[in-house]
Structure 1
């Protein structure tokens, strides 16, 4: 039995599956193979196949055992073919993550900790965020800021491509689990996001209910 770490929040369900299961183990818990076979055959490596299947299994578990077909918009955004839920998913070396909601747009990001964030922090931190990081040197802050902005991008799309200039995180108290607010500068719209940190991954997710 493949373990799924689940979070339920504001009618949304988040499901995280760690990248430690074999292709056969993942396939054994999926029934509607007609949804997956053609795309699965196109994947060359076992790693990509496991990632692909883990996302579909996480979606199934988030939907209470229902298997549904994923299609993509012209912008590359995933959606269910029957439009019964809003969905978002993410993957990294450590795990895959899926979020679903019956009516509201959602965004999720999972990221394995990487010192690359230190090298590129000026690309995604705005002025006030940069000042905070330069004062504290908090790597956890970088992890949270990157994943929060990635999750927001999943909702807002191309109008939030400039993480440093278009997305602004309001001051918050850093912890291993927490909530914060961020603003899309172009529209001045505020978003509430939840985050979680452990040694294996960062999780951030958002429900567009403002």
Structure 2
């Protein structure tokens, strides 16, 4: 794996992006997998899904700088967590890349997406009419910033049943290749405004959020 981006937001929060260059067997050779994890692997379709799952676990090992076993199950909502380390994590992947965000203090969320014009066709599935009016026509990058922001907040809050369209609202913002937007979450278990960071990374859009960010 090749580290292509490492960023420390502060002394407690950082994330890394890796380009996946290994085969599945090479990645497996760098991990210690228990029976549950091998069963999970066997259920994945061979190809990118397997590589993504393995690559995020290898990247976790790199970021924790340990040769010991890392237990990374998912909770009842499907949110991955570290069972034998204190850090909070969020995982993402897209095509040839895998990314991990890690915090020593509070939950985090991260999302990485390859930018494609097709998002214009599904914008009304995850954005309210008012949000779309604020964006304007044919702004692919801005739509991806909104998608990544909503996905990042969804991962941070960790509960199933939260709707991107119904429970999340991106407030109007001026798009830049690297910027900040604000997102209102109004869900049954949580109502809060989040400050979400986004930026272009090569042909991708990256969004990330930290709990209780000022």
User: What residue number does 1:69 align with?
Assistant: 71
Does the CA contact (< 8 Å) of 1:94 and 1:200 recur in 2?
A: no
User: What residue number does 1:202 align with?
Assistant: 205
Cα separation, partners in 2 of 1:163 and 1:128, compared to 1, 3 Å: same
How far off is 1:179 after superposition? 1.7
Unaligned runs of 5+ in 1: none
User: What residue number does 1:166 align with?
Assistant: 167
State how far apart, in whole Å, the 1-side matches of 2:103 and 2:112 are.
18
Cα separation, partners in 2 of 1:184 and 1:160, compared to 1, 3 Å: farther
Q: Under a length normalisation based on structure 2, what TM-score does the superposition of the two structures give?
A: 0.84
State how far apart, in whole Å, the 1-side matches of 2:45 and 2:129 are.
42
How far off is 1:111 after superposition? 1.0
User: What residue number does 2:21 align with?
Assistant: 20
State how far apart, in whole Å, the 2-side matches of 1:155 and 1:174 are.
23
How far off is 1:140 after superposition? 0.7
User: What residue number does 2:92 align with?
Assistant: 90
Q: Residues 12-60 of structure 1, C-alpha deviation per residue, up to 9 Å, x if partnerless?
A: 11111123333344345x2534585454444441433321221012212
Aligned pair partner of 2:196 in 193, 198, 203? 193
How far off is 1:185 after superposition? 3.0
Equivalent residues, number: 208
State how far apart, in whole Å, the 1-side matches of 2:102 and 2:54 are.
17
How far off is 1:132 after superposition? 2.0
RMSD: 2.4
Cα separation, partners in 2 of 1:68 and 1:159, compared to 1, 3 Å: closer
Unaligned runs of 5+ in 2: none
Q: Under a length normalisation based on structure 1, what TM-score does the superposition of the two structures give?
A: 0.86
How far off is 1:130 after superposition? 0.9
How far off is 1:83 after superposition? 4.6
State how far apart, in whole Å, the 2-side matches of 1:188 and 1:40 are.
36
How far off is 1:80 after superposition? 0.6
What stretches of structure 1 move > 6 A for 4+ residues in a row? none
How far off is 1:181 after superposition? 1.6
Q: Residues 67-116 of structure 1, C-alpha deviation per residue, up to 9 Å, x if partnerless?
A: 52101111111111125111110112131111111120111111112333
1:83-122 correspondence runs (5 A): 83-122=85-124
